[in-house]
């Protein structure tokens, strides 16, 4: 009889980026909405989710903003040094998780963008229902007409949107599988834009879990106003 191994869940939040597209004086995750930084809103969702045992936050070396934030003393919180890009920061987080775990069997990781503050526990509940080795990501079906462009920004063709989804986070995978997939992708010189792409390179087929359209990533100035609207509505 096979022994059932209980699953343990941790979160990794890459937050070492500078967010140049926001055209702001500080990284986008440190801009404030309702008296709290975007990062604090994001972390609050993860830290208050009972199934997440620990949250590993990867920040830039000598980050001047992190010391002033409210979550540093939270018992679930672990701040680590990030890397040059998102994938490097995620891998640093996975190494930190592995270092703290005496046994990594049964450990799963939710990787979530620092600048997605409108995540809900209901979406996390849906992700948690996936328990096979392929893992899963939150995503939403494409609703706009999708155009493929030529290098000169003219339309090459229109894509069939019925098979297209827009990837979100969290992305949820077994720790050891994701760590190995990222290491292999780096060794092959592949461009890793999200964790699912590394898992795809490794031969996995992650599940698409339908998320909410308000789980937006704050990337440009207009996104900030939209996130502010959603968070205001959420708090009412």
> Is 206 in contact with 199 (CB distance < 8 Å)?
yes
Question: pLDDT, tens digit, for every residue of 85-130?
Answer: 999 999 999 999 999 887 888 999 999 999 999 999 999 999 999 9
Q: Is 47 helix (H, G, I), strand (E, B) or coil?
A: helix
Token representation of residue 196:
């699912």
Question: What proportion of the chain, given as a percentage, has pLDDT over 90?
Answer: 73
List % helix, strand, coil for the chain (3-state, nearest 5): 35, 25, 40
Question: pLDDT, tens digit, for every residue of 70-82?
Answer: 888 899 999 999 9
Query: What's this model's pTM, rounded to 2 decimal places?
Result: 0.92
Question: pLDDT, tens digit, for every residue of 27-42?
Answer: 889 999 989 999 999 9
- For all residues of the chain together, what is the average pLDDT? 91
pLDDT of 25 over the 80 cut: no
Q: What is the average pLDDT across 136-155?
A: 95
């Amino acid at each position: 009889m096979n022994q059932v191994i209980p699953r343990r869940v941790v979160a990794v939040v890459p937050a070492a980026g500078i967010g140049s597209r926001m055209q702001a004086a500080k990284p986008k995750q440190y801009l404030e909405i309702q008296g709290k930084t975007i990062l604090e809103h994001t972390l609050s969702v993860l830290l208050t989710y009972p199934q997440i045992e620990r949250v590993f936050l990867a920040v830039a070396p000598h980050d001047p903003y992190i010391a002033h934030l409210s979550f540093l003393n939270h018992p679930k919180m672990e701040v680590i040094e990030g890397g040059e890009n998102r994938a490097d920061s995620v891998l640093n987080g996975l190494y930190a998780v592995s270092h703290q775990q005496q046994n990594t069997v049964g450990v799963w990781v939710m990787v979530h963008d620092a600048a997605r503050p409108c995540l809900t526990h209901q979406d996390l509940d849906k992700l948690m229902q996936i328990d096979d080795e392929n893992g899963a990501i939150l995503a939403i079906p494409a609703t706009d007409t999708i155009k493929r462009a030529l290098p000169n920004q003219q339309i090459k063709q229109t894509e069939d949107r019925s098979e297209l989804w827009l990837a979100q986070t969290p992305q949820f995978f077994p720790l050891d599988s994701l760590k190995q997939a990222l290491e292999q992708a780096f060794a092959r010189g592949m461009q890793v834009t999200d964790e699912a792409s590394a898992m795809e390179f490794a031969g996995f087929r992650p599940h698409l879990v339908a998320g909410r359209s308000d789980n937006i990533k704050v990337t440009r100035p207009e996104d900030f106003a939209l996130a502010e609207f959603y968070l205001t509505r959420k708090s009412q």
